[in-house]
Amino acid sequence: MLDNPSRPDTFFENSALPVDVFHFKCKHKASDEKCNDRCNPVNWPELCTPEGTWRFNSSAAEQANAWIGGYQAIVREMQADRYEFFLDEMIKRRNRNIIKDLQKKGKSVYPIPRQELLQPEAPEIIG
């Protein structure tokens, strides 16, 4: 994973990098112990509800990351303040469009209060 024997780097030594469940099952080798320790989302019980379902839609997160990656050429040379402003505005626009599309399909859309999401017993988020 992040190992390079010729240049040992301890920066990520104590980092967790959980990945999308589908991605982990399809793209990661079972024999890679470091990868299994640091990337397998099952290793973090707080990511699951007491019923054993995920608290978040990791596939939606992966799709959002892929969408943001489409702006890499535009934001690559931006200073941090412009980068954050640009992505903030683009994410708001994308979210508004997604909400409109869902409402057109008759889906119920509602915001989950931030405090509710931060509680240990947060409700399951279904994407």
User: What is the tens place of the pLDDT at every residue in 85-120?
Assistant: 999 999 999 999 999 999 999 998 877 787 776 776
Query: In percent, how much of the chain has pLDDT > 90?
Result: 29
Contacts of 61 (CB under 8 A, 6+ apart): 20
Amino acid letter for position 61? A
CA distance 26 to 12: 23
CA distance 20 to 62: 7
Structure confidence at residue 32 as a pLDDT band (50, 70, 90): confident
- Residues 42/47/48/54 CA torsion (nearest 10 deg): -90
Q: pTM score, two decimals?
A: 0.54
**Domain boundaries in the chain?**
1-43, 55-118
